[in-house]
Amino acid sequence: MPHVITQSCCGDASCVYACPVNCIHPTPDEPDFGTAEMLYVDPAECVDCGACVSACPVDAIKHDSKLAAHETVFVALNADFYATPRPRPILAPIVPPLAVRDGGELRVAIVGSGPAAMYAADELLTIPGARVWIYERLSRPYGLARFGVAPDHRRTRGVADHFDRIRADPRVELVLDTEVGTQIGHDELRAEHHAVIYAVGAAADRRLEIPGIQLPGVASATEFVAWYNGHPDFAERTFDLSHPRAVIIGNGNVALDVARILTMDPALLAGTDIAPHALEALRHSEIEEVVVVGRRGPAQSAFTVPELAGLCATPGVAVVADHDLPDTDPRAALLGGGAARAGDRRIVLDYRLSPTAVLGEDAVRGVRFVRNEVIDTADGSTRVHATGEQRTIDAGLVLTSIGYRGQPVPGLPFDDATATVPHDGGRVPGPAGVYVTGWIKRGPTGFIGTNKSCAQETVRSLVADYNAGLLQVSGLSVR
């Protein structure tokens, strides 16, 4: 198999369009693109041209002869995706170029500077007459690409280099330290630009409402990630790392990132972008074990196989799980792939537990759980039934990692059930000229690169409205 897509795949599909034989799937027009854990190279169709390697913004594609030992699992993962034959065209779908009427100048403001914003800017810059203003509340750009990716995921963090190239275009102005709604209003932006795109993400955590959740020693995994990545809003936070055990409630990719950072040798983090205050705290940490708890079974784990592969390859960390996965499941091989060595810290993946209370008086002392039975339903989903059996896990740090939630944007409609802004292809209902992209548009799903196809849809709606004469600039000045 000549080329293999590996762990840091961001799913932005640049490789799809670079491939001359359409051997990388799923493509953005295929139904499973939005839910795929990563993209995959077809070993039977790859012609070993290497075009995908240079197209990938995060160096996720390697020749099979250059794979590290912990990456060899991706040979099977790529091949297994094609185990069931699937019909597909000879070439990937052609994306027609964007063009504005009469070659006119198109001025667009983007609120936020994370991946969704930068991909929207990149798409707009394919139009020769486009100019883009990006407004960011913080003093540093790129949102979760900077403050949400674990510091030891160097290749994934490399997407910032791609965003730097977008930012360097002379038609882009990045306005930092500027909060829309406080220092500049929506109406002002709308008056000075043909359109405003909100790419504000899903900044809040889903909260866990159980007794004791407000005790000192309880925080969200999102807050912990922001702390170790140097987010200015969390630089003064402190976390109690003095107990030998921590518990993480939820088992998605963020939970595994946090568990890894808490248990890996701080010396391995010293050359990364981790915040100095976090590195110093981790050097003095007494945590020896992190228990990652999910309410369903191993088959319903929320983390991806690539994330688990990276976790299991962490030196000095033993990953332990009592699982009933079939041998054909790649997670089974990873979880049974190595024995703990003396001195290893442990990450325990625990299942079928729902938290009922955080225990302690002045600080966290543990978490009480109820044991669940996971029942398969006729439609292929599962439901959880509490058995009444209880279990307590002692811990001095409890982090909740049960998802993100969007927040209302002043002046825009908001669907509280989905925590998103209602839209039609990215168009926000109401006066023309307001659009959304990214998590505030579709909810907290997908990966960094998923925002590319999401932004493409929004920008195409915007350009169609501009060409129809629906977008005007009424202000006298342009920032």
Q: What confidence tier does 426 reach under pLDDT thresholds 50, 70, 90?
A: very high
| The predicted structure's pLDDT at residue 380 | 83
| The predicted structure's pLDDT at residue 89 | 74
Mean pLDDT throughout 48-72?
94
Choose among 459, 470, 461, 449: nearest CA to 28.
449
Mean pLDDT throughout 198-223?
96
- Lowest-confidence range among 1-5, 293-297, 396-400, 418-422? 1-5
Residue 174 has pLDDT above 50, yes or no: yes
| The predicted structure's pLDDT at residue 48 | 93
Residue 477 has pLDDT above 60, yes or no: no
d(CA 207, CA 400): 8
Domain-located, residue 247: yes
189: region left, alpha or beta (phi > 0 left; psi from -120 to 50 alpha): alpha
Q: Based on the fold, state whether residues 143 and 262 are members of the same structural domain.
A: no
Residues whose CB is less than 8 angstroms from the CB of residue 406 and which lie 6 or more positions away in sequence, other chains included? 200, 201, 202, 203, 204, 414, 419, 420, 421, 439, 440, 443, 444
Q: Based on the fold, state whether residues 333 and 295 are members of the same structural domain.
A: yes
Residue 478 has pLDDT above 50, yes or no: no
Q: What is the pLDDT of residues 344-385, one digit of tens each?
A: 899 999 999 999 999 999 999 999 999 999 999 988 889 999
Percent of the chain residues past pLDDT 90, beyond the cut: 84
The CATH number of residue 287's host domain is 3.50.50.60
Q: What confidence tier does 339 reach under pLDDT thresholds 50, 70, 90?
A: low
Domain-located, residue 315: yes
- Name the more confident of 117 and 86: 117
Q: Based on the fold, state whether residues 63 and 141 are members of the same structural domain.
A: no
Mean pLDDT throughout 280-293?
98
Domain end marker among 38, 67, 82: 82
- Lowest-confidence range among 158-167, 330-339, 396-405? 330-339
**Domain hosting residue 278, numbered range:** 206-400
Q: What confidence tier does 102 reach under pLDDT thresholds 50, 70, 90?
A: confident
Domain-located, residue 95: no
Q: What is the pLDDT of residues 287-298, one digit of tens each?
A: 999 999 999 999
Domain-located, residue 55: yes
Q: Based on the fold, state whether residues 310 and 428 are members of the same structural domain.
A: no
Q: Based on the fold, state whether residues 417 and 441 are members of the same structural domain.
A: yes
Q: Based on the fold, state whether residues 186 and 260 are members of the same structural domain.
A: no
Residue type present at position 402: I
Q: Based on the fold, state whether residues 243 and 338 are members of the same structural domain.
A: yes
Considering its fold, how many domains does the chain have in total? 3
- Lowest-confidence range among 1-10, 150-159, 166-175, 418-427? 1-10
Query: Which residues on neighbouring strands pair with residue 204, listed in sequence order?
Result: 405
The CATH number of residue 12's host domain is 3.30.70.20
Domain-located, residue 385: yes
Residue 101 has pLDDT above 90, yes or no: no
| The predicted structure's pLDDT at residue 239 | 98
- Lowest-confidence range among 66-75, 105-114, 330-339? 330-339
| The predicted structure's pLDDT at residue 203 | 85
Q: Based on the fold, state whether residues 213 and 153 are members of the same structural domain.
A: no
Q: What confidence tier does 134 reach under pLDDT thresholds 50, 70, 90?
A: very high
Domain end marker among 370, 400, 430: 400
Q: Based on the fold, state whether residues 342 and 276 are members of the same structural domain.
A: yes
d(CA 315, CA 317): 6
SS3 192: helix
| The predicted structure's pLDDT at residue 39 | 96
Token pair, residue 90, equals 């000879």
Helix (H) or strand (E) holding 277: helix 276-283
d(CA 369, CA 310): 28
Q: Based on the fold, state whether residues 231 and 307 are members of the same structural domain.
A: yes
| The predicted structure's pLDDT at residue 476 | 47
Domain end marker among 82, 99, 124: 82
Q: What confidence tier does 1 reach under pLDDT thresholds 50, 70, 90?
A: low
Compute CA distances 261 → 8, 150, 281, 316, 404, whole Å.
17, 8, 12, 12, 20
Average pLDDT, the chain: 94
Residue 337 has pLDDT above 70, yes or no: no
Q: Based on the fold, state whether residues 262 and 355 are members of the same structural domain.
A: yes
Domain-located, residue 151: yes
Helix (H) or strand (E) holding 260: helix 253-263
> What's this model's pTM, rounded to 2 decimal places?
0.93
Q: Based on the fold, state whether residues 338 and 227 are members of the same structural domain.
A: yes
Q: What is the pLDDT of residues 16-46, one digit of tens each?
A: 999 999 999 999 988 889 889 999 999 999 9
Domain-located, residue 354: yes
| The predicted structure's pLDDT at residue 338 | 60
- Lowest-confidence range among 22-31, 119-128, 218-227, 393-402? 22-31
d(CA 475, CA 388): 64
Domain-located, residue 273: yes
